[in-house]
Structure 1
Amino acid sequence: MSSRQDGFSGDNKLAINKALTSSVDDNPLGWVCALPKEQTAATAMLDEIHPHLPKPPSDPNTYTLGCIGRHNIVIACLPKGQYGTNSASAVATRMVGTFPSIKVGLLVGIGGGIPPKVRLGDVVVGTPVNQCSGVVQWDLGKAEAEGGFKRTGVLNNPPTALLTALTKLETMHEMSGPKIYQYLDDMGQKWPRLMPKYTRCDSLVDPLSGSDNCARESQHGEGHVHYGLIASGNQVIKDAHFRDNLNKSLGGNILCIEMEAAGLMNNFPYVVIRGICDYADSKKTKSWQEYAAAVAVAYSKELLEYVQPSDVDGERPVKDMLGDVLECVSRTETNVETMKSNFDRKGELDILEWLTPIDYGPQHSDNLKRRQSGTAQWFLDSAIYQAWMSSNKQRLFCPDDITARFLHDKSVGIAYVYCDFRRQNEQSAEALITSLLKQLSQCRPSLPGIVRSLYDRHRHRRTRREFDEISTTLRSVGAMYSRVFIIIDALDECQTSNNCRTRFIKEILNFQATCGGNTFATSRFIPQITERFKDCMTLEVRAHDQDVREYLRSRILQCESRLLASHSEEIQTEITKAVDGMFLLAQLHFDAVKSKKTTKRVKEALKGLAKGSEAYNDAYEDLMQRIEGQDRDSRKLAHDALSWINSATRPLNTLELQHALAVEAESEFDRDNIPFLDDIISVCAGLVTVDEESDVIRLVHYTAQEFFQRTWTRWFSDAHHGIATACVTYLSFDPFKAGPCSTDMDFEARLDTYPLFSYAARNWGHHLVLKDGIS
């Protein structure tokens, strides 16, 4: 018998378990390393090593499979010689594509410490601090006036399943100390060849140990575990002065500097664990790297003792959260270097902004996040959709609204608009066509020359571009793609004044005829719209029962209510029957049921569910009655919030609304009167929602707006009076009595400090006019 199996020595005490029938569906934890020595430490710390599994030819990653305790582990390392956030993101994304059941992960390896808080051989764990997620991308941002730099690298928090385990582990360390060094001893016994470098540090020298009497004792150095902020970027730092200035710019909260974490955080829910191997200064050496990697891995193993498999099962699969990223990552990787070399990004972004400042990207991203995993597959599999995807010059008309989030093909250009009854002032026919032009232009490797020519022709002469010019330019840019998809959501909400909707549809049809593009439009049944699409493919979009049940099952699990869980099947069945394919009703009905506190009340609510054509109206009536039944303060907060959301001339972001609701008849703004956003959403009983990407707070659906338009005088008859008063009061606060700001920087600071200032200054007169009934 051979003395080697899967490349590992048969003389060690680690069982190489080949009998275990692992599969890619075992809900493994993803484990990403940047260096081979980090991968060595991770592999050596496994309790068992599993056989290799087949992987797609398109995935160049190499995986090590195994387990630690009750957790299956998938380990991947960056390619030899590659570093940084982009490489880490690519490896993690491919890992999730090959192992789609991965839900959480670990990024384990080495990093540079920030003295004197952190010393060589310590462990740093990235955890949320103030407004930061635990990892900040220090080199992502924008240059500002007078040499300033504003960081924009905002990243997601680690998953809850790992954060709660970290809390428990920290407590156990306080009580009984860490097991890190026990695990290092175990690893040295199992893998004797690793012992000199990976499990002992008694021969290593800490250059700071002699300067502050902080020399480590014992063969392991007895390092410490720190929790806090990790700075991540694409640049190796070997300068103590630069390091300290970076730390100072981030409030002195940085514990560690590394090069991979920011590439994963937004698309891969994980925690970063770093062993400290240097101080990110000119004395940076590699002597501590193996030991630092080993202590980080040992800490990770101990952490997994406190991560329950059931907690991991409750997290969403990473692949669902990645969504579009997985399908277009290969295109992004091949294009990014071309874009960097060809683009004068500053000038080209100025031109794109000149075309239109309107950006549907945040709304598109919010829609992707709201997608319920496992639903709408019937739509993608339908013969009509498949025929539309595979042919050119096709139109697909879908009554009712559905986001066209599934349409991605790396060989085509995609542009989309979301018509919105609340944004009609900025959604003229010209604005909509210009937005499509901007999207198709910015997806090219370099800005199309015809767009630059349009800019040069009008910008320098300060002339106004014509609708026909925009249309001609759009057709020219569209012709640069092999295929083009135009997605128009909620076409029925496009304004009809000035013949806007008719002109827009006509131009889209002309574009399709000229460029061979495909059009995907969603709308309610409006005769004027359906007539224009009468010869195209039509697919009625209704929520299938299985989709509704999957949504309800997910909501019940999220509530963590024993009462709802005990009636799960009944709730799913009764609500599914009541909604009759209207997905929003499922949300509204569930919001009504989930507030019940006894079995009797749940059953009564299920029996009284509204059905048929008046179901929306009845559901909104019920929600308003729930609001009316709240305590006085909650009722007032809900009425004021809904008044602003319904009456504002444009959508408000969350800070604007919070300031609006805090205004009192005083000489200064009292920040102690600002209501919490969660309270605002809660008292509104499911009628409002927040778009996370754009931070806009809005009504849950256009049918809610229609309901309030019909019943306005019952709920908000004096809304404009209250809003006008609040705007004038806000503008009269003492800080504004000094007059206009002297510099742009001062003005920006004013807007940051008083978010409602811009809206109040522009719109107080509008509300005053409506308050007095002046035409």
Structure 2
Amino acid sequence: QMATETRTHGDYTVGWICASSIERRAAMAMLDELHEPLPTPEYDRNIYTLGSIGKHNVVIACPPMGTAAPYIISMTNIFRAINFSLLVGVGSGIPPDVRLGDVVVGTLEGHNPKEMMLNPLVEAENSVHVETWAATPPQPLLEALKKIKTEYELSGSRIPEYLERLKRDSPALASRYLKSDSLQDLLFDADYGHVTPDFANLSFIPREENDCRFCDKTMTVKRKPREMRVHYGLIASADREIKSAPLRDRLCRNFGGKVLCIDMDIARIKILFPSHYPCLVVRGICDYADSHKNMEWRDHAAIMAAAYAKDLLHEQDLQILEWLTPVDYGPRHRDFLRRWQPETGLWLLDSAEYKTWLSTKKQTLFCPGDIGSGKTILTSAVINDVKTRFQINPVVGIAYIYCDHRHKETQQIDELIASILKQLTQKLFSLPDCIRQMYEKHKYGQTRPSLNEILGVLHTIIGEYSRVFIIVDALDECPTSSGCRQTFLKELSNLQNQFGVNCFATSRLDPDIIAQFRTNSISLEIRENAKDVQLYVKRYMEQLPAFTELDQWQQETMLVKVLEHVDKRYDLA
């Protein structure tokens, strides 16, 4: 969308460097807002696109002739407020760890910069000058890097959400940049060269059609399919293109086997900027630096690098969300989910009550149960099911709370509402102005927003979604002091009435809480389930070496005897 606010050159603090029009279009696709162009000197031939990602005003710079170093000088002379630059584009991956479509972020990872000259493998070729180098990003960007690495390890990236939104908002662009079934990740044996029939050398054969259709697919390395990954480590920059697997492998060995990616841009930049220049290199992997290199993966690799760069810039917005509330129910949820046995709880997930709650707006499903009946583990299964169904849908919001009497200080009414606000905000494409304004209002005076302020912003955020699910476990452990539980239930009811929010809640068999859900709610009591108990005990015993050594009849006999004596309360099932 196009912003209406007028800006000056001094408002732009982030440079985004592209080396080609393909990379520039991918960068533009990741902008939250597009800004009107600003005047530039006649001598500057660079192509600039202005926009914003989260709180950052970004200058996307692309050179007219595909060179890297000269335009950076022009950009920093015109946009003098730039604090750091992201060098975002495509590069060649070093197998076996790195695959096509992966992203590599350039960091020295404890290694010193190094350069060397690689002699050619054949006399007709020139020597290749190669070096590893990584400038030091500013401290806020380093902190964002650390956080995003941890976040990806624990809960995955937001990159699929960005790509899903691109598919929805720009179908034509998505059809070009997103991965299709026609893209095959083929890694050929290092000593097997690309096969090019004679007619493919004719001038009427487009370069992009010079693919591996004539190469022997039996010469590929067999690998198990996997999702894309983000790698952090050395990126080597060469002074010419490398299209030789033996030369690539020799380069990697000479750098101690630590190089993940090869590109041609970093060395050009280093000529004009010393190592202290604040920048970060992000590369999407489009080939393996071998003779099979072609254009097939270039578009997709460019959008993957751009999506990671966007996520990195958004990571700095999380500092504001941490100010809102540091409470994170994610680790607790993942712990409960690990303890859930995947085929248990189907009586709930397959029930008519649950399906009605899931498919219809403005519904409450209340599931009371006795102590030890498995309410919390079933809640984690419900959260997992809802997230699996709607996680990549940008117009469906999901928030959850695990009440615990041991953490009363973090479960006061303002913290509970702030946690719902935080979770719903995290899924949005960018940090909304209402959140930022509330933060700016309170940060200098080190004050906290009132409950009414938080609720007002929450109403605005919920308005961004077509559907919202709020899931609360163990309402009986929600504090009653200062009317916390009563106020919490009242506000959930208000959200449902105003916005059609769907609520799911569990509780012990507390008469006061049950009375709150007696009307306008679907009720389904959680009770001991014999099939769940049997499945849990069986899975647990199958992990015991002594049990696995028994034959089938002995195992079944022992299982029957154990089930006769086991308490059917299944906290872990």
TM-score by length of 1: 0.36
Choose between structure 1 and 2: higher helix proportion. 1
Over alpha carbons, which structure has the higher Rg?
Answer: 1
Higher relative contact order (CA 8 A, sep 6+): 2
